[in-house]
Structures are given as structure tokens and as C-alpha cells.
């Protein structure tokens, strides 16, 4: 049933693998794809991944640095896989503990792991256990809890309607119980079943409303309507005091003035001492609290100080919650922060801490590494080199800017063209924003200013920046196509395409943008996002990518290739938007806009951003 | 006269203290004094030794295996250490093991295999670069043409790093996967890389600064005004061919003789 099962070390050496009968293609490709998209992108929150027709499930063993991966066909739904992986992991660890515990890779390289027999036995057990559990049969009504309840306990003392509904329920039960009842009883039951206003006739409705009116006038509890043919219940005796099963009836327990709670008291008393000496504080707490596990707790704490304590979910829970709140306070989107924390928890579970390291420091270190890893670009980012490459191929390098309204597309387009002309490239700006008032004029002003900074006399009489515009109201995709053709004819190095800002929910505009990108196939599609955005970033990027994927004709759609993060100077250290954006798209941040003049264009320094993010 | 009086006054100031000290020392057991002197001497000597050992440790005791993703580093690591063929996956963390060089001295140092994935590379290189005495840069010769810009960028990043340009470890560029028929020769790879590094010198220095103001490293590779060549670098650079898989497939020997010889010469 399984296609393959591999066990490999985090350093990359495959320790043992199993390939199912009849499976010919190698599993290296899918497993590599799993590693790259899930583990390395910190999405290890949920442990399954699908690649083509295969579905992959994996488990990380952080103590011995191993990864267990199982692959099977996506169309099969195998229920035993999760438990099976856990069993295999435990079994493998127990059997090869000696080899795995040695530091260094030599042990892994030299030992041969003959795991086939164990594996086959575990697989057989797992398959059999899944077959043994048959479909569960439904309980009969008599066995359920509901039949034990009396009607009175279900009554809420609200008024007539509620009572009616309860009465109706009782009659439904009555109907179910007596299946072989006479027709008369069944019809009467049926009539009461359609309780509620829909089933009542017109007169009954009027009657009911009359009673409500009287009730409101009198302010007295209403009598049950006698018209309904259900059995008469006892009248509710006014409002009964509601009894909570878990609540205390006396307020004595809430009085903490005496030494009621030992832990709180001891901590308060010893507070001054404890500040000076945390180890003493631990010991004091442990000694004074008469909990049963006091000695065990103290021992565990000392063990934690010295080392050889493995991290568990409960240990990391409080630290991770605090880190999640800290990230959210720094403007990381809420769901991204929680996914990140889940991924870090998965990566650290079972890991053995070193000597004198606390849980908090280990978790913080791991989180910092993950954040740096997310911000590192996954491909080479060197625009100048790519422009040179395009120039050698005698075609212009096309960059398209897209984003929502007011994020700074036109301003940053001007900054980027300034940077390019400083490095000696000729730039054509395509004004594909045919909607916003003054968009074309804005670009024309930028063009004039840039040309005055680098006068045409220096470049053989040709203006270094030109604007291609066709006024307002025209089709943006058509203008872009003509601009690129013009650039190719006139041998421009770079074409910068400015599009109109649009909200991600606006379907016709998103379709138009997708058409522009699909038709013109730019070299770089940059999404311009401002650093002030919070949770909206997630929605924007997801919907933009979705639109680009849906409306492209080819099976390899052009998605967002890079991000321009603007208005970076307005945030001090709440730099979380950078994380949200790179996490969702997986694409690097190519430019950072730090102001409104031509010189305010930078590239991202991952370490500095993560430092600002983790700073308290 | 006055000077004499002043000097004597100064001496007289300290004299009582010195006398008191001398008296105290004489009162004490001589063994006690000897004990104090010995412990002071031990502390000083241990400081000196510690400094000596620590500094010698950080200096160059490891050989790093670096390269792009899928270039064959982990398999090369396995072949060098144990001679066996092992299936490999993309590495997530580094692996290290002691390696015994095949020379008369039998020197042994640590061989470290770093992951090649783009998002992990910078932080692992950062961690291990100061301990490197040699860097083995593994290149996939079969798909080199497509990857030449990425290879060159990584090599540029390594060579312009401040720690690397200070320690000057020797660089061995191992053109791996020679068993594939379309593999390029080492000479061709060297020429292409030199051309690419030439261009990179220009584009990298024109790159944007980072947002917190820290500029990139200002190390200029090679000689200004002349085309870049690997011989212009301060470190020893060697290009060689190897095949970790070996011409006979999984069960055969790996073709890494030249690599082992270079490693023995370190």
C-alpha cells in the first residue's frame, strides 16, 4: 500500500529506505520537494504534503537529528499512517540507540541499518489494526443520555414558546419510542411534531399572539396554551435558581487574605529574597508547597539546569505563547505568527538541551534562526546582472509593479529608474495606469527630473529615460505590449511598467492585471507592499497570487516574483510585515523603500530585521 | 639638601608599611608563603596556556565542503570518509567528522559538509568560515551552464567575505559529476567563472546598500583595471575534476583520486 518509506539524517545521508512493490520511480525527487517547501520554509505545522500524485507524511526526530518520511498515493486514504510512523520511529530509536547517540557522521556512514524485518512486522500490525476496527454501530435511543432526562430538567423558564418546543421534543421522543402505535396516536403526534409557527393554523397563531400580548400587559407568567393537544405539563414555579455544577456556593474560597493559597503566600513572602537568587527561589517554592510532586519537580528543575533534559510540548508552551504575542505586537500577521510558532515547536520537540541553557533561550534561538531563514532569498537576487544578461540577448528586461492603492508604486518606480540610470542603463517607463487622475503626468514629471539629472549629452544625445504613454482610459495590457515592442526596437535596456492600484477583492481589475502579466510575460513581477500593513498583507498576497494563477492560460503561471517593501522609514522596529510577506509567497524582498527622495532605495539585511524583530 | 630630606620623607612614609609587611610575612609559616607564590604562578601559567591553545584551535582546523544545492557534497563527504556509496537527500544541517589525510604524516583534521540550500547557506558559512583552513567548492559540471551565475555569485560571496580574505584558506574547486557525458571540463569551468566574476565585480559594487546603513564588504577581487583571474587572488586556488558516483555506478569506486591528493597536500 505504501509507495516508499525513508529514514535519513538531517545531514542528508539516507540510513534506510523501503520501496513498495511495483514502484519504479525514485523517491528522491518528492522527498527533496518536501524538504524544500515544508521544512525549510517553516511550514512544518501540519505534517502532510502532497506532490503530484503522491501524498507524503513525515516526522522529525530532533534528538538524533533524523527525518522519517512515508509516501503513498493520494487517492488512497490510509488511516494507520500517523500511528505507523510513530511506531517506526520509536522502534528504530530503541534498536539503533548506540549508533545514533555517537556524535559525528562517521557512525551513520559506517553502520548498516538492517531494518527490513522490523519494518515489515510493524507494517503488518498497522494494516491489521486498521482492518480490525469495524464500522461503529449507532446507539439506540434507549442507550443514549437523552432518554434518561425528564422533561422538567429540560425546561427553560423563559416563556410559552420554549415550553412548547420542549413539549414538541418530548412528543418526538414519544413517537420514536412507540413505533408500532395506532394511527390516531401517530397522527396526533405528527400534529404536535410540526410545532412551531409553521405548523399551526391561522387561528392558533392568533391565539398565541393574543396570549403574548396579554402577558406583556400583565407582566405575569403566562399559562400554557390549552389549545395545543400535547399533554399538559406542570406549571413552572417561577424562576428557579440555576445551579452550576462546578461553581462553589460559598464565597469563603475566594478570600485570600489569610494564608489560604500556599504557593501565592510563599512567593509573596520570599519575593524579596527570590529576586536576588533565582535558584534559591526555586528551592523555596518547592519546599514550601506541599505538592506531591515537589521533589520530582525540584529534581526536574535541577536536571534542566545541568543538561540532558529533553524539550516537551508543555515546556515550550508558555515560551511560545509569549513569543507569539511578541511577534504579533511587532506587526507580524496573526496566523503567520502562530504557524511559525507551531513550526518551531515541531523542530524542537524532543531535542536535548545543552548545559546551562534555559528553555526560553533555546526557543528564542530557534525562532531567530527560522526568521533569518525565511528572510534569506531562495534564489539569486541581482537585478543588474540580469539586466546585463538581457542586454546581451538583445531584449529589454521588463519589470512590472502591482499592488493595492496608495502603497508607493509610482514613487518607487522612479527610485528604481534613478538607480538604474546611475548604473548606465537606458530606461523606458510604460504608463499603464490609465485610470488614476494625474498618473501619466506624475510619470512625465519624474522623467523630466531624471533626464535633467543625467542630461542626454552624456549618453550620445539620447535621453536616458523615456515615457511611453497613451493617455487615459485605454487598455493597460495593450499599452504594455506596445511599450515592450518599442523598447525592443529602440534598444532600451529596461522597461518599467506602472499599473493602477487595485483592491484584491475587485475581480474585474484583478482579471485585467492577470491578463496584462500573462500576455506580456515580464521578466520580473514585483508586488509593492507597504511596511505598515498588518494582517491585510496575508489577504492581499494570497488573492493577488490566486488571480494571477487562475487567469493565466499556461500551466506554468507567472506568479509574484519579488516584493518591494515601501515606507520602511515610518515603522521603527515593528518590521513584522516583512516576515508576513516573505512567508506567504516564499519570494524575496528585492527592494526596500526608506523615504520619498530618489536616493531612498535599499536592499534588505535579514539579520538586522530579525534583530529588530526579536528585540524586546 | 632639601631633595635628600624629601626623598627620605617619602621613604619614611612607606617605611612603616614595609616594616609591618615584613614582620607579618616573617611571622607566617614559610610554607604558607610558598603556597601563595605557587598558586599565583599556576594561575598565570594557565592563562598563558589557555590563550595559546584557544588561539591555535580557532585557527584553521577544518575543511569545508560547500557548493550549490544538488552538487554532490554529501555523497563526496561519504566517499571521502568511508568510501561507500550512500543515497542522499537535501541536507538541512551540517555534518562533521574527522578525516585522516592520505599522506606520510597522516595528519587528520575535521571535514565539514555544509548544506547548499540558498536559505541555509549564509548562516552556516557564517558559523564555520573562521575555522576553515581550506574550502572545497563543489560544482555540478553537468548543469554548470545553466547555473553559472549562481555558482559565481556564491564564489564571489565567499571570496569577498572578511574572515576568508583575512585567513586566506586554500580553495579547491572540485568539478563534480564528471561521470555524466555532458560534464564540462575543469578548464572550461575556470574560464567561465573568471568571466562571470569579472562582471560580478561591477554589479556587486553597484548594488544597493542595506536598510540599516551597513554596506557590503569592500574587498576588491583581483587587480583593478585588469580582467579577473584566479591567479590574482591571495590564496591558492586549484581546479580539479572528480566524480563522487564513480563511472561504474553505485557499487563501484568513486573517482576522487585527484581530490584526495590535493587534500593530502594541505
- Whether A171 shows a pLDDT value over 80: the answer reads no
3-state DSSP call for residue A395? coil
Distance CA B229, CA A546 (A): 47
| Cβ count near A563 (within 10 Å) | 26
Query: pLDDT band at residue A301, thresholds of 50, 70 and 90?
Result: low
Which chain B residues contact residue A609 at CB under 8 A? 211
| Mean pLDDT computed over A170-185 | 46
Is A388–B203 a contact, with Cβ atoms under 8 angstroms apart?
yes
Residue B175 near residue B143 (C-beta atoms within 8 A): no
- Whether B248 shows a pLDDT value over 70: the answer reads no
Which chain B residues contact residue A351 at CB under 8 A? none
Residue A501 near residue A407 (C-beta atoms within 8 A): yes
Percentage of residues of chain B with pLDDT beyond 90: 1
Task: Quickly tell me which residue has 395506532 as its cell.
Answer: A182
Distance CA B89, CA B69 (A): 10
- Whether B20 shows a pLDDT value over 90: the answer reads no
Q: Which of B88, B94, B121 sits opposite A13 (nearest CB)?
A: B88
| Mean pLDDT computed over A64-90 | 83
Residue B156 distance to chain A (closest CA, Å): 12
* pLDDT value at residue A45: 62
State chain A's mean pLDDT as an integer: 78
| Mean pLDDT computed over B228-233 | 82
Which chain A residues contact residue B207 at CB under 8 A? 382, 384, 603
C-alpha distance from residue B229 to each of A329, B140, B190, B196 (Å): 51, 21, 9, 11
Which chain A residues contact residue B153 at CB under 8 A? 380, 382, 385
Residue A10 distance to chain B (closest CA, Å): 5
| Mean pLDDT computed over A149-164 | 63
Residue A166 near residue A151 (C-beta atoms within 8 A): yes
Contacting residues for A163 by C-beta, under 8 A, at least 6 apart:
A155, A224, A233, A236
C-alpha distance from residue A100 to each of A63, A113, A348, A397, A471 (Å): 9, 11, 18, 52, 70
Higher per-residue pLDDT: A174 or A148? A148
Residue A208 near residue A224 (C-beta atoms within 8 A): no
| Mean pLDDT computed over A410-423 | 92
Lowest mean pLDDT among A265-274, A374-383, A425-434: A265-274
Q: Which helix (H) or strand (E) holds A315?
A: helix A313-329
3-state DSSP call for residue B183? coil
Q: Of the ranges A531-540, B80-89, B210-219, which is most confident?
A: A531-540
Lowest mean pLDDT among A183-192, A474-483, B67-76: A183-192
Tens of pLDDT, residue by residue over A552-605, are 877 788 889 999 999 998 888 888 999 999 998 889 999 999 988 999 898 888
φ and ψ at residue B83, rounded to 5 degrees: 75, 0
Which chain B residues contact residue A17 at CB under 8 A? 87
Tens of pLDDT, residue by residue over B178-221, are 888 888 888 889 899 988 888 888 888 888 877 766 655 667 77
Distance CA A298, CA B80 (A): 48
Task: Quickly tell me which residue has 574550502 as its cell.
Answer: B135
Tens of pLDDT, residue by residue over B27-80, are 667 788 888 889 999 999 988 888 776 654 445 578 888 998 888 888 888 888
Higher per-residue pLDDT: A29 or A173? A29
Q: Which helix (H) or strand (E) holds A152?
A: helix A151-154
- Nearest residue in A to B117, CA atom: A378
Is A605–B91 a contact, with Cβ atoms under 8 angstroms apart?
no
* pLDDT value at residue B12: 59
Distance CA A466, CA A420 (A): 13
Is A605–B203 a contact, with Cβ atoms under 8 angstroms apart?
no
| Mean pLDDT computed over B149-172 | 86
Higher per-residue pLDDT: A524 or A352? A524
Residue B71 near residue B140 (C-beta atoms within 8 A): yes
Pull the grid cell for residue B150: 549562481
* pLDDT value at residue A75: 82
* pLDDT value at residue A269: 46
Distance CA A29, CA A44 (A): 19
Tens of pLDDT, residue by residue over A47-67, are 777 777 888 888 888 888 888
- Whether A189 shows a pLDDT value over 50: the answer reads no
State chain B's mean pLDDT as an integer: 79
Contacting residues for A320 by C-beta, under 8 A, at least 6 apart:
A341, A344, A345, A363
| Mean pLDDT computed over A14-21 | 82
| Mean pLDDT computed over A600-612 | 89
What residues does A465 pair with on adjacent strands? Answer: A427
Lowest mean pLDDT among A94-103, A114-123, A128-137, A424-433: A128-137
Tens of pLDDT, residue by residue over B122-144, are 888 888 888 888 888 988 888 88
What is the ipTM, given to two decimal places? 0.74
- Whether A105 shows a pLDDT value over 50: the answer reads yes
* pLDDT value at residue A296: 56
Tens of pLDDT, residue by residue over A395-408, are 999 999 999 999 99
Residue A296 distance to chain B (closest CA, Å): 35
C-alpha distance from residue B217 to each of A582, B135, B158, B165, B220 (Å): 25, 20, 11, 10, 9
Is A602–B210 a contact, with Cβ atoms under 8 angstroms apart?
yes
* pLDDT value at residue A497: 94
A448-472 burial, b if ≥16 CB within 10 A, otherwise e?
Answer: eebbeebeeeeeeeebbbbbbbbee
Distance CA B241, CA B245 (A): 13
* pLDDT value at residue A201: 65
Tens of pLDDT, residue by residue over A326-385, are 999 999 999 999 989 988 888 888 888 777 778 888 889 889 988 998 898 888 888 999
* pLDDT value at residue A419: 93
3-state secondary structure A224-276: CCCCCCCCCCCCCCCCCCCCCCCCCCCCHHHCCCCCCCHHHHHHHHCHHHHHH
Tens of pLDDT, residue by residue over A21-35, are 777 777 788 888 888
Tens of pLDDT, residue by residue over A278-300, are 555 555 555 554 444 555 556 65
Count CA atoms closer than 13 A to A401's CA, side-chain side: 33
Pull the grid cell for residue B109: 583534521
Contacting residues for A392 by C-beta, under 8 A, at least 6 apart:
none
B204 touches chain A (CB under 8 A): yes
Distance CA A569, CA A13 (A): 46
A51-72 burial, b if ≥16 CB within 10 A, otherwise e?
Answer: beebbbbbbbbbebbbbbbbbb
- Whether A224 shows a pLDDT value over 60: the answer reads no
3-state DSSP call for residue B233? coil
User: Whats the size of chain A, residue-wise?
Assistant: 616
* pLDDT value at residue A326: 92
Chosen from B69, B77, B87, B244 to mutate, greatest number of chain A CBs within 10 A: B87
Which chain B residues contact residue A372 at CB under 8 A? 123
* Angle, in degrees to the nearest 10, between helices A536-550 and A576-585: 30
Residue B78 distance to chain A (closest CA, Å): 7
| Distance in Å from the first CA to the final CA of chain A | 51
Q: Is A82 exposed, middle or buried (0-12, 13-18, 19+ CB in 10 A)?
A: middle
Residue A284 distance to chain B (closest CA, Å): 37
Q: Which helix (H) or strand (E) holds A499?
A: strand A494-499
pTM (global) more than 0.80: no
- Whether B3 shows a pLDDT value over 60: the answer reads no
Which chain A residues contact residue B115 at CB under 8 A? 12
Lowest mean pLDDT among A106-120, A302-316, A415-429: A302-316
Residue B132 near residue B167 (C-beta atoms within 8 A): yes
Query: pLDDT band at residue A162, thresholds of 50, 70 and 90?
Result: very low
Percentage of residues of chain A with pLDDT beyond 90: 23
Amino acid at each position: 500500500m505504501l509507495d516508499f518509506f525513508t529514514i535519513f539524517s538531517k545531514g542528508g545521508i539516507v540510513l534506510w529506505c523501503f520501496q513498495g512493490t511495483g514502484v519504479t520511480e525514485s523517491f528522491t525527487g518528492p522527498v527533496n520537494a518536501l524538504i524544500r517547501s515544508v521544512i525549510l520554509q517553516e511550514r512544518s505545522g501540519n505534517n502532510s504534503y502532497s506532490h503530484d500524485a503522491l501524498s507524503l507524511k513525515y516526522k522529525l526526530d530532533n534528538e538524533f537529528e533524523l527525518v522519517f518520511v512515508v509516501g503513498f498515493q493520494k487517492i488512497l486514504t490510509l488511516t494507520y499512517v500517523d500511528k505507523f510512523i510513530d511506531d517506526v520511529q520509536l522502534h528504530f530509536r530503541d534498536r539503533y540507540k548506540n549508533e545514533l547517540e555517537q556524535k559525528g557522521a562517521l557512525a551513520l556512514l559506517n553502520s548498516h541499518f538492517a531494518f527490513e524485518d522490523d519494518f515489515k512486522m510493524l507494517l503488518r500490525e498497522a494494516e491489521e489494526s486498521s482492518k480490525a476496527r469495524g464500522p461503529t454501530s449507532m446507539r439506540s435511543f434507549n442507550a443514549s443520555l437523552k432518554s434518561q432526562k425528564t422533561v422538567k430538567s429540560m425546561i427553560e423558564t423563559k416563556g410559552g414558546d420554549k415550553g412548547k418546543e420542549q413539549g414538541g421534543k418530548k412528543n418526538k421522543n414519544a413517537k420514536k419510542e412507540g413505533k408500532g402505535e395506532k394511527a390516531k396516536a401517530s397522527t396526533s403526534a405528527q400534529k404536535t411534531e410540526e410545532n412551531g409557527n409553521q405548523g399551526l393554523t391561522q387561528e392558533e397563531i392568533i391565539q398565541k399572539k393574543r396570549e403574548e400580548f396579554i402577558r406583556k400587559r400583565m407582566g405575569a407568567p403566562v399559562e400554557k396554551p390549552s389549545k395545543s393537544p400535547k399533554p399538559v405539563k406542570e406549571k413552572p414555579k417561577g424562576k428557579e435558581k440555576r445551579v452550576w455544577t462546578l461553581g462553589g456556593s460559598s464565597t469563603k474560597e475566594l478570600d485570600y487574605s489569610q494564608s489560604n493559597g500556599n504557593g501565592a503566600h510563599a512567593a509573596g513572602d520570599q519575593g524579596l529574597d527570590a529576586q536576588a537568587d533565582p535558584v534559591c527561589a526555586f528551592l523555596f517554592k518547592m519546599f514550601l508547597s506541599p505538592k506531591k510532586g515537589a521533589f520530582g519537580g525540584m529534581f526536574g528543575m535541577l536536571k534542566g539546569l545541568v543538561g540532558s533534559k529533553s524539550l516537551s510540548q508543555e515546556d515550550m508552551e508558555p515560551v511560545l505563547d509569549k513569543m507569539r504575542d511578541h511577534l504579533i505586537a511587532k506587526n507580524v500577521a496573526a496566523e503567520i505568527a502562530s504557524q511559525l510558532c507551531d513550526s518551531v515547536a515541531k523542530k524542537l520537540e524532543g531535542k536535548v538541551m545543552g548545559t546551562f541553557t534555559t528553555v526560553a533561550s533555546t526557543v528564542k534561538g530557534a525562532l531567530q534562526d527560522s526568521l533569518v531563514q525565511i528572510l534569506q532569498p531562495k534564489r539569486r537576487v541581482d537585478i543588474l546582472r540580469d539586466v546585463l544578461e538581457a542586454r546581451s540577448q538583445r531584449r529589454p528586461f521588463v519589470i512590472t509593479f502591482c499592488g493595492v492603492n496608495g502603497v508607493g508604486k509610482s514613487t518607487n518606480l522612479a527610485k528604481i529608474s534613478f538607480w538604474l540610470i546611475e548604473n548606465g542603463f537606458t530606461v523606458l517607463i510604460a504608463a499603464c495606469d490609465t485610470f488614476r487622475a494625474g498618473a501619466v503626468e506624475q510619470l512625465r514629471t519624474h522623467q523630466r527630473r531624471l533626464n535633467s539629472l543625467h542630461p542626454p549629452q552624456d549618453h550620445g544625445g539620447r535621453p536616458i529615460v523615456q515615457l511611453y504613454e497613451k493617455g487615459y482610459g485605454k487598455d493597460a495590457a495593450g499599452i504594455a505590449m506596445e511599450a515592450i515592442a518599442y523598447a525592443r526596437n529602440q534598444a532600451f535596456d529596461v522597461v518599467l511598467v506602472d499599473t493602477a492600484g487595485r483592491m484584491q477583492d475587485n475581480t474585474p481589475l484583478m482579471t485585467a492585471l492577470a491578463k496584462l502579466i500573462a500576455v506580456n510575460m515580464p521578466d520580473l513581477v514585483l508586488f509593492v507592499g507597504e511596511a505598515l500593513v498588518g494582517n491585510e498583507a496575508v489577504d492581499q498576497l494570497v488573492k493577488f497570487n490566486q488571480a494571477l494563477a487562475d487567469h493565466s492560460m499556461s500551466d506554468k503561471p507567472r506568479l509574484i516574483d519579488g516584493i518591494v517593501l515601501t515606507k520602511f522609514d515610518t515603522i521603527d522596529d515593528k518590521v513584522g510585515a516583512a516576515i508576513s510577506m516573505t512567508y506567504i509567497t516564499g519570494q524575496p524582498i528585492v527592494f526596500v523603500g526608506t523615504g520619498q527622495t530618489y536616493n531612498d532605495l535599499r536592499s534588505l539585511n535579514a539579520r538586522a530585521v530579525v534583530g529588530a524583530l526579536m528585540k524586546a | 639638601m632639601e631633595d635628600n630630606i624629601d626623598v627620605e620623607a617619602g621613604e619614611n612614609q612607606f617605611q612603616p608599611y614595609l616594616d609591618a609587611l615584613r614582620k607579618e610575612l616573617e611571622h607566617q609559616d614559610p610554607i604558607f608563603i610558598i603556597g601563595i607564590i605557587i598558586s599565583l604562578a599556576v594561575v598565570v601559567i594557565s592563562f598563558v596556556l589557555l590563550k595559546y591553545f584557544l588561539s591555535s584551535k580557532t585557527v584553521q582546523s577544518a575543511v569545508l565542503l560547500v557548493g550549490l544545492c544538488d552538487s554532490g557534497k554529501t555523497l563526496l563527504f561519504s566517499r571521502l570518509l568511508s568510501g561507500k556509496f550512500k543515497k542522499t537527500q537535501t541536507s538541512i544541517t551540517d555534518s562533521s567528522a574527522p578525516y585522516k589525510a592520505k599522506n606520510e604524516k597522516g595528519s587528520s583534521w575535521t571535514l565539514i559538509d555544509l548544506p547548499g540550500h540558498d536559505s541555509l547557506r549564509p548562516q552556516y558559512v557564517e558559523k564555520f568560515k573562521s575555522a576553515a583552513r581550506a574550502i572545497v567548492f563543489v560544482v555540478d559540471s553537468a548543469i554548470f551552464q545553466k547555473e553559472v551565475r549562481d555558482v559565481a555569485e556564491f564564489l564571489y560571496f565567499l571570496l569577498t567575505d572578511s574572515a576568508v580574505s583575512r585567513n586566506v584558506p586554500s580553495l579547491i574547486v572540485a568539478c563534480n559529476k564528471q561521470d555524466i557525458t555532458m560534464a564540462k571540463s575543469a578548464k572550461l569551468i575556470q574560464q567561465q567563472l573568471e568571466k562571470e566574476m569579472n562582471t560580478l565585480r561591477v554589479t556587486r559594487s553597484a548594488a544597493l546598500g542595506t536598510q540599516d546603513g551597513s554596506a557590503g564588504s569592500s574587498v576588491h577581487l583581483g587587480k583593478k583595471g585588469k580582467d579577473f583571474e584566479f591567479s590574482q587572488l591571495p590564496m591558492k586556488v586549484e581546479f580539479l575534476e572528480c566524480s563522487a558516483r564513480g563511472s561504474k555506478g553505485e557499487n563501484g569506486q568513486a573517482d576522487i583520486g585527484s581530490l584526495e591528493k590535493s587534500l593530502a597536500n594541505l
